[in-house]
Amino acid sequence: MIHTPKPCMILNTSNLQCLQVTEECELPLIDISTLRMTTDEKALQHCASAVTRAATQWGFFMVVSCGISSELLEVMREAQRQLMKKLGSAMTELAHLLARVRAEHLEFSGDFITEKCNSAFLTILSQDQVGGLELRKDSTWNAVKPNQDALIVNIGDLFQGSASHGHDMN
């Protein structure tokens, strides 16, 4: 006897929209060593203006010379990889166990796609070489070109020059 299991998830496609992702973009890259190492008022103002311009125009920007070494970021990435391997294996094992136990009794209904909202006050990301980060600017999704030596700053709606810019992250 062959038994075809019921689907584990039903995707509600009525709310899906076709979103266009443009080519990879480069975020503004700002060397903030001036903010950390100088008292020269003109240099400080120039750097502050660059941050303000990037925050207003993009809502996101990259920073270098921020006092966090590439070596420290690589140590963090390696620790994350190891942790995610262990967690992924444990989660997969749990998922298989639960799926096996409930396989014949699962019935899903409802909308499994929820809109993601990222309205954080301030988010700092360390992007790896793989990429995959996308942001929406002017109603268009843009893939962000990875730069392992820079951190990405999302200033959120609270600090952005105008909330009408509508930047989202994926």
pLDDT digits (tens, 9 = 90+) for 103-135: 556 554 444 333 444 445 567 787 877 778 888
| Predicted TM-score (pTM) of this structure | 0.52
Q: Report which of 93, 99, 170, 94 is spatially closest to residue 134, judged by C-alpha positions.
A: 170
Asked if residue 40 has pLDDT above 80, the reply is yes
Give pLDDT, residue 122: 66
Nearest 10 degrees: Cα torsion 159, 161, 163, 169: -60
Alpha-carbon distance 64 to 33, whole Å?
8
Asked if residue 100 has pLDDT above 70, the reply is no
Instruction: Provide the domain limits for residue 144.
Output: 13-165
Give pLDDT, residue 87: 86
Show the tokens assigned to 62: 């990259």
SS3 state at 159: helix
Q: Does residue 59 sit within a domain?
A: yes
Q: Does residue 170 sit within a domain?
A: no
DSSP string of 86-117?
Answer: HHHHHHHHHHHHHHHHHTTT----S-------
Q: Does residue 2 sit within a domain?
A: no
Report the CATH number that the domain containing residue 52 is assigned in CATH.
2.60.120.330
The top-scoring range by mean pLDDT among 92-101, 103-112, 113-122, 140-149 is: 140-149
Inter-CA distances, 7 with 12, 19, 100, 102, 108, Å: 13, 27, 13, 12, 8
Query: What is the number of domains present in the chain?
Result: 1
- pLDDT, one tens digit per residue, over 63-79 is 999 999 989 999 999 99
SS3 state at 27: coil
Q: Does residue 98 sit within a domain?
A: yes
Q: Does residue 136 sit within a domain?
A: yes
